[in-house]
Structure 1
């Protein structure tokens, strides 16, 4: 754990009276403006509950904040080029697809579509690159997300909350993540060039994080009212008889789909039978522009990110030495667990010094990583098994501590809020939008940010799971 401490944006602790007044105001504002989700324990479509949010914006050094904002378009370009390099994807994932059935399924779809020829050459990427401060406030990338990068809407609203209620506007950076993502979706829809075509949001069978998703839909309608949006799960699509038209148009409920936006599909639960996998393949074979396409999805796997962390590899995709140096500056140590000299060395490192590392599988959605002494147990159990090649080892980062209050939905059994001043750590995410094909990048932007905060004692920080909280950066020198 880091011993470095960042000072809070105001003097803490708050008086009991001021704290109660501030929490009440925060809860009311958050619920009135959509910082909410449906309850996982008492699901009801007619009710939402408060998503965890910090009472105050958390301090974040301005220099590293600007560093990662400015590098995002380079990362967008990097992911785009990786996604269009079949040889690199194949070599990076060849051991992983032997050990990880989920990645193997995705790669099979990719190979099938590649061999048939892509009906749609354009891909849309709505990306989020996540970072932690480490070692005297250097900033290092934890991962990059290429599918269902969430909370662009609620991050925008959280920034508004901290601006309006805390009244320290000059220190909280402008955040246009929601509009940026929505303009990217509209840009792709316009490229499809069919004013009657719809957008399809692929969602879960039951959606808990409904507010974040619906804000995207409603913002698109505000920006471009003629776009119709439909929401379906892969299982819904299986039962509805989706088909391809004579020119490979994706046709759902007799409507041509211009853009498919995956807010689900990154987890095994989205594919309960082979029919859902067949539907994913059908969509990939269509002319609809996918967000992400299967090659973008694969480009975001942990194993590909680990391959990119090798210094010589970046020169394959980025020709500008200054750009390469900027990316290398934010990369942290990522290590293969393949059956080779590097893999054997990484296994021994993880077993001997587990607190220096995180063990990561090829999964999105949070809650899948292994920490501390459990790393030793997992690596010992997988040491001679092909299963280990489905994982990577990453240097563990220890961000500086600071104080803040978490505002959460009260437990049903409790009539009083239990708000404690706690030691917390923050994780910064930077949102990017990229649109293009193998020959041309048509749009490449950094569009906003998110700060997610958790107790310093927690390893994972899922917001929907109630462990982490939405936050905003309060920039300090």
Structure 2
């Protein structure tokens, strides 16, 4: 983390303790939580204050995001390109093979793009200085299409940071803009369900059973509250959408709970 002059400087031990406690209890109140592998409910680790990040680099990342989304969408829709590119891995990576033949008419991407600041040959002292943010370059670390977690919780964590900064007398939307990630993910899912229903109608297929959103989770899921945040956003926009949470075991052949009809519709 960049070591800028701390906003906490000058606070008494008691004031700092109260601030930390209010932050922790706000997190618990608003579902910034997780389960441990032993299924104990604990607060999700988070910083008391947001990490400093240069405004220009942030705005550049925002401007780039739509272009990245379009690029990956076009790549994902180019079947011939994918077959040629993934051919060397098809024999050893069954997951890629399954994805390759799962192309559908309606596609929804919920992605997360990760960035870091980079400066060639920077010393620890340079990285801790203000000059670092002025000279460092924005570098994309990865573009997550599967492990795109924390879109649900992040919306409320930003609200918590905004509140903490306000208590310290330093908040403005210009410095820490809202992050409606859960709301945006929920809106996208609702729109995808609507498009799916239109597709069924155009194909003259029966929609006597309510289409549902299937969320596949692990048997000992720890990131429940992040996922539930997006579910809540979906239901607030359209409470008629059914959401199913199923483990891989629930969907196995042995369970006999999954059927696929001749039109490739999945029934769970």
Assess same fold via TM > 0.5. yes
Alignment pair present for 1:244 and 2:260? yes
Distance 2:26 2:225 in 1: 14
Q: Where does structure 2 lack aligned partners over 5 or more consecutive residues?
A: 120-134, 198-206
Alignment pair present for 1:58 and 2:51? yes
The structural deviation recorded for 1:249 is 1.4
The structural deviation recorded for 1:157 is 0.6
- Aligned partner of 1:122 in structure 2 is 106
Alignment pair present for 1:158 and 2:157? yes
Aligned to 2:75, which of 82, 86, 89? 82
Distance 2:258 2:95 in 1: 20
- Aligned partner of 1:149 in structure 2 is 148
Q: How does 1:192-211 map to 2 (within 5 A)?
A: 192-193=196-197, 194=207, 196-211=210-225
Q: Secondary structure at the match of 2:67?
A: helix
Q: How does 1:246-285 map to 2 (within 5 A)?
A: 246-252=262-268
Q: Is the 8 A contact 1:203 1:232 kept in 2?
A: yes
The CA RMSD measured in Å over matched residues stands at 2.1
Q: Is the 8 A contact 1:198 1:227 kept in 2?
A: yes
Distance 1:243 1:34 in 2: 35
Q: Secondary structure at the match of 2:39?
A: coil
- Aligned partner of 2:184 in structure 1 is 180
The structural deviation recorded for 1:108 is 2.5
The structural deviation recorded for 1:87 is 3.7
- Aligned partner of 1:231 in structure 2 is 245
The structural deviation recorded for 1:199 is 1.1
Aligned to 1:43, which of 34, 39, 43? 39
Instruction: Please state which structure has a larger fraction of its residues in strand.
Output: 1
CA distance change for structure 1 residues 28 and 5 in 2, over 3 Å: closer, same or farther? closer
The structural deviation recorded for 1:166 is 2.1
TM (norm. structure 2) is 0.81
Q: Is the 8 A contact 1:9 1:56 kept in 2?
A: no
The structural deviation recorded for 1:229 is 0.6
Q: Secondary structure at the match of 2:220?
A: coil
CA distance change for structure 1 residues 203 and 5 in 2, over 3 Å: closer, same or farther? closer
TM (norm. structure 1) is 0.47
The one-character-per-residue Cα deviations of 1:13-62 (angstroms, maximum 9, x if unpaired) are: 7432222111111111111111111122x325xxx211111011221110
Distance 1:75 1:128 in 2: 11
Q: Secondary structure at the match of 1:66?
A: helix
Distance 1:14 1:57 in 2: 18
- Aligned partner of 1:189 in structure 2 is 193
Distance 1:9 1:67 in 2: 26
Q: Where does structure 1 lack aligned partners over 5 or more consecutive residues?
A: 253-477
Aligned to 1:216, which of 230, 238, 241? 230
Instruction: Please state which structure has a larger fraction of its residues in helix.
Output: 2
Aligned length: 236
Q: Is the 8 A contact 2:50 2:161 kept in 1?
A: yes
The structural deviation recorded for 1:219 is 1.7
- Aligned partner of 1:105 in structure 2 is 94
Q: Is the 8 A contact 2:116 2:138 kept in 1?
A: yes
Alignment pair present for 1:71 and 2:72? no
CA distance change for structure 1 residues 11 and 20 in 2, over 3 Å: closer, same or farther? closer
CA distance change for structure 1 residues 37 and 80 in 2, over 3 Å: closer, same or farther? same
